[in-house]
Structure 1
């Protein structure tokens, strides 16, 4: 799946609502949950956490690792770098316990955050994506929502903790396996994943000229195939689509018929700018349409959302959709006006 975050437009999608196991891509939600706590002032980046022997016994060298040792006191910021740069399973568990006192409480936060973001087909059963019998699952569409939240809601934290090419902890230096960061122009995150059950997964992003694309891949049979496909999709999206602001906020786009109103129609205007990523190939034509269930019954208040402006591709698929608001109040018509409207409807 490839999405232009500037317009919200899907540039490519195949089974975007199909559930899959995300593996270490789960850690993007762990990072988001930490970012949210930091943003709310509930978690300090310089706060230290005593890594225990029990945690070392359970997680040292278990899958991708920061290689934390008992007795070490990493800061929350260091743990976040361990999560975002080298995909530390140990760092993910550590930040969960440091922030909330238990993995269970942290998972409650992760799932509450997922629900708040509208990730309705996702559930998290671990902070790190380690195999958990299918308790952790998500969809490409949900991961786009998460990627949008990480990059747009917490841009300063995103740029501080994502996009590093390597990390040294103690005497161990490790590289970041993200195939987008530093390898595609504007590439600056987010995460790869792999387990035998999940295959090779990716959520990646790049920004050029203020325009950000996000790509999600799942179930790839090899890392090389995943990495190549991710880079190619990002490059294709920037090359084959051009972002355009088609209409400014406040533009009146048409009128809707009104039933039993003092006026027989009402103007429809945009609340926000209407933008789209338009295909470079002129053969890929698109059409604008106004959609609403009408006639709209009075009374209508100015600003009521009563229709949608839709940009449709050649197959009729809606690629961009925005609300249209009533430009004026339309009170309910009096008795005689309603009778006149009825005659006009039947005989006009």
Structure 2
């Protein structure tokens, strides 16, 4: 379990952090003409049992309802299919321009089955066209073709999907399908996990995300189909992701948008109708943008405290922010903020400059706390014999 060690106090005025004070123990309270957090209630009706809205830019959860509840994601699975393809493209293992010949077996099993790109045997779509088919018209056949093109089989592809889910910390997720087609409950997820996936695909592969998501229609073989994702073109800044539906789980959505430097990711699941899901999604995303403002707290590269080091050339290492720390707060609010440094310690050397070794917990009055990473401000090599003796004496006698 992570324990709080010595943190750093900071002086905050209306312009944000202006100085970093000496080290103190525990929590440093930052007060700046604090005003209680007041915003309009989230526009999510009780008929939708699962809902979540995350501000990726700050790391905050702005709204949460039943976020760990498992459900069948249906076609929202295709976001992980896209993420898996994006990762392979980024690693140079998959080329969007590579064509794949559609087999008769694939046509017989998947062309026209559920949402489809209507691929026919002998056609040669590229990897990029299959990706567009998956993300734009939710093509079940496109996902299977993509899996085969990338790894040789759907089973191999599922291994990659589940490995990616594990790496992202999607603890309540398992993929038994490349396209979300009903599979007797082998595929399941949660809002919390889908939000992690949404954060990862937009932040790790932003260029590929913009290239393959957010298109309103796709034409293949003179057949034009519309994208049923309800946000893009309807809410300012919205730029895509996927809807899903099963009779058992209802109507689901993973969506995102970026406005004024803030990236939001939303999840809705279990809606009884598509129209309620779509209308709620638009209002929910707009609420996240309009009712909250970005409030800067700490700049990038600011040293805010120390962490204890074990078996290092020195017994402590400075901690700094790798990126600006900000909060999303209700419009017009000047927040009361508390900071707390958390880490598993003492941290064993060697430590490289830039290693992420601690977390900064940010608590704003009236809102859920959230955490951002802290990194080592300098390298700490392993101690030599003399340094180990010295550190031992310091530990004994203070």
- TM interval, short-chain normalised: 0.7 to 0.9
Corresponding position of 2:96? 45
Q: Aligned residue for 1:225?
A: 276
Of residues 156, 178, 195, the one that matches 1:105 is: 156
Distance 2:246 2:302 in 1: 50
Verify: 1:276 aligned to 2:340, yes or no. Answer: no
| Counterpart position of 1:344 | none
Q: Structure 1 residues 85-94 or 248-257, which shifts more?
A: 248-257
State the 1:249 CA deviation: 3.3
Q: Deviation per CA, 1:28-65, whole angstroms, max 9, x where unpaired?
A: 11111111222222222122212122222212221111
Q: Residues 301 and 197 of structure 1: is their aligned pair in 2 closer, same or farther, counting only changes over 3 Å? A: closer
Secondary structure of 1:277's aligned partner: strand
Q: Report the CA distance between 1:305 and its aligned residue.
A: 7.9
Deviation at residue 231 of structure 1 after TM alignment: 1.1
Counterparts of 1:131 and 1:240 in 2: how far apart (Å)? 38
Aligned with 2:288: secondary structure? Answer: helix
Supply the distance in 1 between the matched residues of 2:141 and 2:375 (Cα, whole angstroms): 49
Contact 2:318 2:376 in 1 (8 A): yes
The aligned runs of 1:183-332 (5 Å cut-off) are 183-253=234-304, 269-281=319-331, 285-291=335-341, 308-314=359-365, 317-323=368-374, 332=391
My pick for the range that moved more, 249-258 or 315-324, is 249-258
Distance 1:297 1:4, change over 3 A: closer
> What SS class does the counterpart of residue 281 from structure 2 fall into?
helix
Q: Distance in 2 between matches of 1:55 and 1:11?
A: 43
**Per the alignment, in what secondary structure is the counterpart of residue 113 of structure 2?**
coil
User: Equivalent residue of 1:272, what SS?
Assistant: coil
8 Å CA contact retained: 1:284, 1:314: no
The change in CA–CA distance for 1:327 and 1:53 in structure 2 (over 3 A counts) is closer
Q: Which is further off, 37-46 or 296-305?
A: 296-305
Higher relative contact order (CA 8 A, sep 6+): 2
Give the deviation of 1:310 after TM superposition.
2.5
**Residue 145 of structure 2 corresponds to residue 94 of structure 1:** yes
Bigger helix share: 1
| 2:306–2:317 Cα contact (<8 Å) kept | yes
**Residues 85-138 of structure 1, C-alpha deviations (whole Å, 9 max, x = no match):** 000011111111122221111111111121222222211101000000111111
Quote how far apart the aligned CAs of 1:281 are. Answer: 4.8
The equivalent of 1:138 in structure 2 is: 189
CA contact (8 A) 2:169 2:193 kept: yes
Bigger drift between 135-144 and 124-133 goes to 135-144
Q: Secondary structure at the match of 1:66?
A: coil
Does structure 2 conserve the Cα–Cα contact (< 8 Å) formed by 1:292 and 1:306? no
- Aligned partners of 1:305, 1:66: CA distance in 2, in Å? 43
Deviations 1:303-325 (A, max 9, x none): 79887533213357413444486
How far residue 298 of structure 1 moved from its aligned partner, in angstroms, is 12
Contact (CA 8 Å) 2:130, 2:145: kept in 1 or not? yes
Equivalent in the alignment of 1:345: none
In 1, Cα distance between the equivalents of 2:68 and 2:136? 28
The answer to whether the 8 A contact 1:4-1:213 is kept is: yes
Instruction: Select which of 96, 120, 134 maps to 1:69.
Output: 120
Give yes or no for contact 2:60–2:369 (8 Å, CA) kept in 1: no
Distance 1:68 1:133 in 2: 25
Is residue 168 of structure 2 the alignment partner of residue 81 of structure 1? no
* 1:85–1:176 contact (8 Å) kept in structure 2: yes
The change in CA–CA distance for 1:301 and 1:125 in structure 2 (over 3 A counts) is: closer
TM-score (norm 2): 0.74
Deviates more, 1:149-158 or 1:219-228: 149-158
Q: Structure 1 stretch 116-125 or stretch 217-226: which is displaced more?
A: 116-125
Deviations 1:186-214 (A, max 9, x none): 11111111111221111111111332111
Closer/same/farther in 2, CA of residues 208 and 133 from structure 1, 3 Å limit: same
Call closer, same or farther: CA 1:4–1:93 in 2, change over 3 Å.
same
Partner of 1:59: 110
Shift of 1:287: 2.3
TM (normalized to structure 1)? 0.84
CA offsets per residue over residues 156-203 of structure 1, 9 Å max, x none?
221111111011111321100011111111111111111112211111
Counting only pairs closer than 5 Å after superposition, residues 25-36 of structure 1 correspond to structure 2 as 25-36=76-87
